[in-house]
Chains A and B, each alone.
Chain A
Amino acid sequence: MKFLDEYRDPRVGQELVKKICARSVQGLRLMEFCGGHTVTIMRNGLRQLLSPHVLLLSGPGCPVCVTAHADLDKAIALARQEGTIIATFGDMIKVPGSFGSLQTVRAEGGDIRVVYSAADALSLAAANPGRPVIFLGIGFETTAPTVAASILEAQARGLKNYYVLSLHKICPPVIKAILDAGEINVHGIILPGHVSAVIGSAPYGFLPQKYGIGGVIAGFEPLDILLAVDMLAAQCEQKIPAVEIAYRRGVRPEGNARAQEVMETVFETADASWRGIGVIPRSGLMLRKEFEDFDATAAFSVDTVVSREPAGCLCGDILRGVSTPLDCSLFSSICTPENPVGPCMVSSEGACAAQYQYGACDE
């Protein structure tokens, strides 16, 4: 397939692996931030190919996984409101909250629709004028601009029944928080590709400046990842940490100005709670005051339950890179994709789901 096979060429891949393994730095510890990267790594057995020269740790870059338990409970409570339509990406449906999941609410008669974009949710609102349609706004800087655009369009079209529960989060603050916690000792970070297509490379400048480590923005094909690993290894070898782009076909240093503008028009940063990590200052996106009419948090008050985390679940540690799915005693015994305990087993980009689906044969 054109524009894809080039980035999967096995010969080039094997050459890159050889090159990385021949570098003088050994035992390199890198974190792949993004869940999409985790999937590519697992699907192509890259951990196995790079071991023991490079150790790859999964990071918190899975939007469903990092959604705080209390936020999930709120979404479930909204779904239980009479007459409400909840529009959501499919991955959210099965994530267990403190009491049930969206899936169980749907089985009880709740109207929960799987959509593929915020634009689809907007169409639902237009087609059901008498009923509130609440879109569950999950995602990073990749998704947030499209949700912002849907709100602007709802405003332009005068739709009064479209709401967004904004649980959007932004990436640079969480990377800082993980590094500040000092629990992981990494030599570099494989930075998210799609997020960076929007925000560019400048927001990661703190990596070399404050922490003395490098970051390379990577695409989602196996060669993209291997190239990023090699660039990080070269930085370590030469001891010149920097922020670089290994995904030139998708990312410009300045990002996407139009997407940034739309996002900034509608959202402002706010403190946000991340599963397993806690509240990180200015790491979330909330609707600005002037878009309050579309803000599900402002429009509906739901009884908040006292959230309880599932016992034994290591999702929080896994999201911080402190533990791997294989460290969790629930993994593949009690917690499976059919009966997930934690969100990392639900989302297709979750580290546990990727491990379960694509685990290497020697593990």
Chain B
Amino acid sequence: MEHVMNDQILLAHGTGGRLSRALISEYLLQALDNPILRVLDDAATLSLNGRIAFTTDSYVVSPPFFPGGDIGRLAVCGTVNDLAMAGAEPRYLSLSFILEEGFPLDFLKRIVGSIRTAAEEAGVIIVTGDTKVVNRGGADQIFINTAGIGIIPDGIAVSGSAAQIGDKVILSGPIGDHGIAVLTQREGLSFESPVKSDVAPLNRLVAAMIDSAADNLHSLRDPTRGGLATTLNEFAEQSWVGIRIDESTIPVNEAVRAACELLGLDPLYVANEGKLVAVVAPQKASAVLSSLTATEYGSQAAIIGEVVADHPGKVVLRTRLGSSRVIAMLTGELLPRIC
């Protein structure tokens, strides 16, 4: 078989010819091999029982490598987490690349390595995929799409519209790390920051929570774009309840706080890729919290507030000074302040 024989992506890698085959076998199959993918037919054939969760997401993060992760780890974790937030056990992922001509092959290799590591960690396998190459300028280096399938255990029906008055709101750990890690890598923001992305698969956290709370687990969501503030607002609107949170209980890492101060950002609105927010019946809140704090990615979990009958559709934060203010959804772009 012809070898890939070059150090960058060429248009020929996407034509479906020999170079495409070489790319698939050397760069993708070798790392991601499993009996279903290995068949290389047009579609993967799967046998599943039970209620199925199905999701898809595209990843266009710039730059593709950032402290704490890369676009590959993100593409696995993001889709795994979307499934997990439906209460599902993630099983199978698809993986599609759109590569810009000239993209370095060793970068691709690193990214595929991250995909493998993240998939192993989450316990999912890649069962089908696709690779396209576009002209230089037709895409920004590398875009990835993943779709995922998971199985929802019997009796579990988590939903953003299932929050009930009296429920507790639990956050799995400190917020803002991913957004700050990526933002500080962007061109034009030349300051050094020790912040690493929190990108991580959360399905094991969810499994632990379901074990301890079963149907007392009402709502689950990962606060990605728009941050914690936006997720809480979605719950309040969908369930038409009020949510009250306490500023002093929300964990934020020192370095993230410092970067947010510098950039004029509010950590409540900064993206996360390895955190979840759960709304849990009050009698199970401490059990869920303990199950979370026993996991690697939930060790700093905390109860940050509760669901109330007042101000339906709104999220109200009690400040450290004892006053209250409404937390609105994210509006517009996150822009640093100017003076």
Contacts and interface: CB of A to CB of B under 8 A. Distances in A.
Interface of B: 188-189, 248, 254, 257-258, 261, 264, 266, 311, 314, 316, 319-326, 328, 331-333, 335-339
A309 to B, nearest CB: 22
A349 B339 contact: yes
Interface stretch (A6-14, A151-159, A296-304): A6-14
Interface residues of A, number: 45
A254 to B, nearest CB: 22
Contact of A114 (B322, B335, B337): B335
B331 A361 contact: no
A180 B311 CA distance: 42
Contacts of B311: 361
25 contacts: A1-B254, A1-B257, A1-B258, A1-B261, A10-B322, A43-B266, A43-B319, A43-B325, A44-B323, A44-B325, A45-B323, A45-B324, A45-B325, A48-B323, A63-B339, A64-B338, A91-B335, A116-B189, A143-B339, A348-B337, A358-B328, A359-B325, A360-B326, A361-B316, A362-B324
A14 B322 contact: yes
Interface stretch (A134-142, A240-248, A282-290): A134-142
Nearest to A88: B338
A42 interface: yes
A4 B262 CA distance: 12
A352 to B, nearest CB: 12
Q: Which of B264, B323, B336, B339 has the most CB of A within 10 A?
A: B339
Contacts of B328: 356-359
A222 B319 CA distance: 11
A360 B188 contact: no
B338 A336 contact: no
Contact of A45 (B258, B266, B321, B336): B321
A240 B325 CA distance: 35
A139 B325 contact: no
Interface string A221-233: 0100000000000
A188 interface: no
Nearest to B333: A90
A337 interface: yes
A46 interface: yes
B331 A337 contact: yes
Interface string A16-35: 01000000000000000000
B130 to A, nearest CB: 31
Given A4-B261, A348-B264, A348-B337, A359 B326 contact: yes
Contacts of B326: 358-361
A187 B335 CA distance: 35
Contacts of A338: 331-332
Interface string A184-213: 000000000010000000000000000000
A138 B339 CA distance: 9
Contact of B339 (A8, A44, A194): A194
A194 B339 CA distance: 8
Contact of A120 (B188, B254, B321): B188
A361 B336 contact: no
Contact of A36 (B325, B331, B339): B339
B332 A94 contact: yes
Contacts of A356: 328, 331
Interface in A46-76: 46, 48-49, 63-64
A115 interface: yes
A197 B308 CA distance: 45
B238 to A, nearest CB: 20
Contacts of A13: 320-321
Contacts of B258: 1
Contacts of B323: 44-46, 48-49, 360
B321 A14 contact: yes
Nearest to B315: A361
Nearest to B321: A13
A361 B325 contact: yes
A146 to B, nearest CB: 10
Given A1-B258, A349-B339, A8 B325 contact: no
Contacts of B257: 1, 4
A89 interface: yes
A236 to B, nearest CB: 23
Nearest to B331: A337
Contacts of B338: 63-64, 89-91, 138-139, 143, 347-349
A116 B187 CA distance: 11
A140 B321 contact: no
A15 to B, nearest CB: 11
Contacts of A10: 248, 320-322
Q: Which 7 A-B pairs have the closest CB atoms?
A: A45-B323, A337-B331, A90-B335, A89-B338, A10-B320, A13-B321, A361-B316
Contacts of A360: 323-326
Contacts of A361: 311, 314, 316, 324-326
A45 B317 CA distance: 10
A48 B326 CA distance: 12
Nearest to B265: A348
B331 A357 contact: yes
Nearest to A192: B339
Contacts of A115: 188
A254 B324 CA distance: 38
